[in-house]
């Protein structure tokens, strides 16, 4: 039997006592599920392991029976259920399982994109200022337009419309007005 954990070739078993015996009903249900499977107690891992018996060579381990925290527990129907869902041939083969995974991933991605779009739409529904702020935050394009300490964008001097108006009146726009 292949050991579930790595051990040196000359290591002695960690468990020296009488090994525990699995429940007879579990063994019967496991054989009903697959006649090539059996359950054994591994002295090195101190856990039950489910092994597949091969027509040649040693059986190999396919499942370690552990509780939620990685400790010892007796095998039960949870293990058969987990083996059932992990068995690709019962669910249409490898190709069908891969296609099902791809469909799930595509549906999940589409749902996630719709969620992002809905969130973005809801966040920007109010007004243009909020829309500009959200775009800046989403694109990381600098600090959003602050409500306080605003910088006046018009510098000292005249604007182009003021210069054109002064010229149309015949006044030199560059003279200082007193």
124-168 pLDDT per residue, tens? 666 666 777 777 777 766 665 556 556 666 667 788 888 888 889
Residues 32 and 79 in one domain: yes
- What is the pLDDT, as a whole number, of residue 163? 86
Tell me how far apart the alpha carbons of residues 157 and 94 are, in angstroms, rounded to a whole number. Answer: 75
75-134 pLDDT per residue, tens? 988 888 888 888 767 767 778 778 888 999 999 999 999 998 888 777 766 666 677 777
Does residue 10 belong to any structural domain of this protein? no
Listed as own residue / partner, the contacts of 30-37 with beta carbons closer than 8 Å and 24 or more positions apart are 30/75, 30/80, 33/80, 33/83, 33/84, 34/83, 37/62, 37/83
Range of 127's domain? Answer: 89-141
Does residue 148 belong to any structural domain of this protein? no
Does residue 173 belong to any structural domain of this protein? no
Inform me whether the pLDDT recorded for 6 exceeds 70: no
Q: What is the dihedral of CA 37, 41, 44, 47, to 10 degrees?
A: 90
Global pTM? 0.47
Tell me how far apart the alpha carbons of residues 57 and 70 are, in angstroms, rounded to a whole number. Answer: 29
List the structure tokens of 20: 């525990």
Tell me how far apart the alpha carbons of residues 99 and 105 are, in angstroms, rounded to a whole number. Answer: 10
Does residue 151 belong to any structural domain of this protein? no
Residues 97 and 133 in one domain: yes
């Amino acid at each position: 039997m292949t050991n579930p954990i790595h051990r040196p070739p000359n290591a002695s078993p960690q468990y020296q006592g009488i090994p525990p015996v699995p429940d007879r009903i579990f063994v019967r249900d496991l054989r009903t599920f697959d006649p090539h499977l059996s359950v054994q107690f591994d002295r090195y891992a101190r856990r039950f392991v489910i092994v597949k018996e091969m027509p040649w060579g040693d059986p190999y381990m396919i499942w370690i029976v552990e509780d939620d925290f990685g400790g010892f527990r007796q095998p039960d129907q949870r293990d058969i259920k987990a083996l059932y869902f992990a068995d690709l041939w019962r669910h249409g083969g490898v190709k069908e399982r891969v296609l099902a995974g791809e469909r799930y991933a595509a549906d999940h991605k589409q749902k996630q994109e719709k969620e992002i779009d809905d969130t973005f739409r809801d966040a920007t529904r109010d007004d243009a200022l909020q829309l500009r702020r959200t775009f800046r935050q989403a694109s990381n394009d600098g600090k959003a337009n602050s409500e306080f300490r605003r910088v006046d964008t018009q510098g000292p001097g005249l604007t182009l419309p003021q210069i054109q108006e002064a010229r149309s009146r015949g006044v030199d726009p560059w003279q200082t007005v007193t």
